[in-house]
Structure 1
Amino acid sequence: MSNPIKSILDDFPVVILDGALATELEKRGCNLNDSLWSAKILANNPEIIENVHYDYFVSGSDCAITSSYQATIDGFMKNGFPRDKAKDLIRNSVAIAKKARDRFWGNPTNRRNRAKPFIAGSVGPYGAYLADGSEYRGDYKIDENALIKFHKSNVKLLIEAGADILACETIPNLTEARAIVKLLEEFPGVYAWISFSCKNDYEISDGTPIFECAKVLNSCKNIAAIGVNCTSPKYINSLIKEIKKASDKPIIVYPNSGEEYDANTKTWHGASSSNAFSISAKEWFENGASVIGGCCRTTPSDINATYKILKNID
């Protein structure tokens, strides 16, 4: 693999990521009230996933993050899928994103002032598999070796399917980040980003300072970018500054929309707007982030507004 983030940043000042997948799937009629979350749509309606990826490319995204965040072999098997089918579904998350990318890139008008989009294979945290919210606490009781074993099959399947980079996202503790780095040593030449879920201006979800996390990851050759996702926008500027103190790697940020999530009722509250999100994105860029997108509750409109303001397109 080449490093797709570096390839784009060699020619452009910023990489634009996509936004929320689940939010768009729900808007299009999908019921995600399931331990597999958006991954279950891989089995019963992959065309909708492809269309969401395509819409984000049209909106300006340089990247599609695959629908494999909550997709694991064990998770699928617990929901009645045979092992071989589970593997096929995880591989297909990459194939679906590639199909959307190729459909978009096949139109010559879409290539103007754009880099060819790349596919990031989503590697969700162990907490996503548990489906108990622990990806926002980082308190699951599992050691580094067990985490390596847990992630290995998914990483291997995503690489085999042709993902251009791995998106190791919503990581809540440094132990899991270390496990991923160690696992990547088994796959020379494969690049990944690691983005943490954070609970305030300075700390990831389990309370470890993000400065410490960035310092550890900065020397890891396979890590193409370090940053934050699935976190309130109000913390992002401070977190960028903390990462910059410890790392010279590209900084990646894709926070939530700004709405607040109530874990008890599983509902979102508060206001958000594409204009406000894009203005915040401009601040993140000015403060040092060079890979920018959105997570929960963000939309193609948010990404399009961000694309326009960061690439000076009227």
Structure 2
Amino acid sequence: MIDLETRPLVLDGGLGTLLERRGNDVSSSLWSARVLRDDPGEVRAAHEQFAAAGADVLITASYQVGFGGSIPDAEVETLLRRSVLLAREVRGPLVAASVGPVGALRADGSEYTGEYGLDVAQLRGLHRRRLAVLAEAGADLLAVETIPSPLEVEALALELTALGMPAFVSLSADSTGFTAAGALAEALRTAASVPEVIAVGVNCCTPARVLPALAEAPAVPLVAYPNTGERWDAEARTWHGAPAPLAETAPSWVAAGARLVGGCCRSTPADIAAIAAALHS
């Protein structure tokens, strides 16, 4: 049972960030999915670190894993199921199966724009099989995350309606796909209209973007897990800037309605521990 009423739940942090800090190579287009394929014990160990830090929810290493991407389709279903199993082996936290945008499968920077040149029907087709596998793999819910455009939100909402699996939907608030006035608010409403969606919100954005984004959301449980404030250069594949302490602003996200709170890129177990301490106090 997923209880968002008793207290806010703490999400984990940047899985790819932690895997890299543990000495793993995440520089390829597969990012953390490369470790999932080649060294699953490292993924389990990273999950364990986040759980020990106080995470109530572990998000699986399936963000870049999908049919029609860089990984041969013959391997995809095995890796999707493995991602859930590895998180499930950590006793205690809920397991949210990560569903990244189509752009994450392409590894070309389009996950920050949503400019794929695809229509709703094509987007539904690209997401359908992965959603079905993850729904059957034993996770507690789906983490539909970092979605960069209203069109992809629409496609995912239609697929989630037919799936019958609880999910949260989190949008990439800094994406150029949401620069038009009202686009983010409309997409949040679209996601929240699906009965299976238990919370909506934003991730993979700057901490300063969270509160304005949540203010555009409908009156439902919300999700907030931004990056630590550094800026990702998709061409150079590197980060610029200084990190921000997420725990200082996390209570304000809860006051705005967030019930699932954590960190995205660059956030570490130390950040999650600090968020957990701030929220529990």
- TM-score, normalised to structure 1, is 0.85
Per-residue displacement from partner, 1:76-114 (whole Å, max 9, x unpaired)? Answer: 544xxx61x3311111000000012x2xx4xxxxxxxxx
Letter paired with 1:126 = V
Look up the match of 2:251. Answer: 282
Aligned-partner Cα distance in 2 for 1:146–1:74: 12
Look up the match of 1:62. Answer: 56
1:31 alignment partner, one of 19, 25, 38: 25
Look up the match of 1:73. Answer: 67
Look up the match of 1:96. Answer: 86
In structure 2, list runs of 5 or more residues that go unmatched. none
Aligned-partner Cα distance in 2 for 1:272–1:184: 34
Are residue 259 (structure 1) and residue 230 (structure 2) matched?
yes
Partner-residue secondary structure (3-state), 2:169: strand
Per-residue displacement from partner, 1:46-95 (whole Å, max 9, x unpaired)? Answer: 011101111111111110000000011333544xxx61x33111110000
Aligned-partner Cα distance in 2 for 1:239–1:289: 11
Look up the match of 1:113. Answer: none
Look up the match of 1:137. Answer: 113
Q: Give 1:40 deviation, angstroms.
A: 1.3
Partner-residue secondary structure (3-state), 1:290: strand
Counterpart contact for 2:161–2:194, Cα < 8 Å: no
Letter paired with 2:171 = F
Look up the match of 2:206. Answer: 232
**Count of aligned residue pairs for this structure pair:** 280
- Distance change >3 Å, CA 206–CA 129, structure 1 → 2: farther
1:19 alignment partner, one of 10, 13, 24: 13
Are residue 270 (structure 1) and residue 270 (structure 2) matched?
no
Q: Give 1:234 deviation, angstroms.
A: 1.2
Partner-residue secondary structure (3-state), 1:185: helix
Aligned-partner Cα distance in 2 for 1:137–1:234: 19
Look up the match of 2:159. Answer: 183
The structure 1 segments of at least 4 consecutive aligned residues displaced by more than 6 Å after TM superposition are: none
Aligned-partner Cα distance in 2 for 1:254–1:76: 26
Q: Give 1:254 deviation, angstroms.
A: 0.5
Q: Give 1:204 deviation, angstroms.
A: 5.2
Look up the match of 1:196. Answer: 171
Letter paired with 1:194 = V
Q: Give 1:133 deviation, angstroms.
A: 0.9
Q: Give 1:148 deviation, angstroms.
A: 1.0
Letter paired with 1:254 = Y
Aligned-partner Cα distance in 1 for 2:266–2:173: 17
Letter paired with 1:90 = L
Letter paired with 1:266 = R
Q: Give 1:238 deviation, angstroms.
A: 0.9
- Distance change >3 Å, CA 70–CA 256, structure 1 → 2: same
Per-residue displacement from partner, 1:101-131 (whole Å, max 9, x unpaired)? Answer: x2xx4xxxxxxxxxxx211010010111111
Per-residue displacement from partner, 1:235-290 (whole Å, max 9, x unpaired)? Answer: 111111111xxx121110110011122233222122225xx210111221222222
Q: Percent identity?
A: 38
Are residue 10 (structure 1) and residue 2 (structure 2) matched?
no
1:171 alignment partner, one of 129, 132, 147: 147
Counterpart contact for 1:60–1:304, Cα < 8 Å: yes
Counterpart contact for 1:36–1:75, Cα < 8 Å: no
Look up the match of 1:216. Answer: 190
Look up the match of 1:110. Answer: none
Are residue 118 (structure 1) and residue 94 (structure 2) matched?
yes
Partner-residue secondary structure (3-state), 2:69: helix
Partner-residue secondary structure (3-state), 1:252: strand
CA RMSD of aligned residues (A): 1.7
Counterpart contact for 2:111–2:147, Cα < 8 Å: yes
Aligned-partner Cα distance in 2 for 1:205–1:133: 16
- Distance change >3 Å, CA 15–CA 163, structure 1 → 2: same
Partner-residue secondary structure (3-state), 1:182: helix
Counterpart contact for 1:42–1:93, Cα < 8 Å: yes
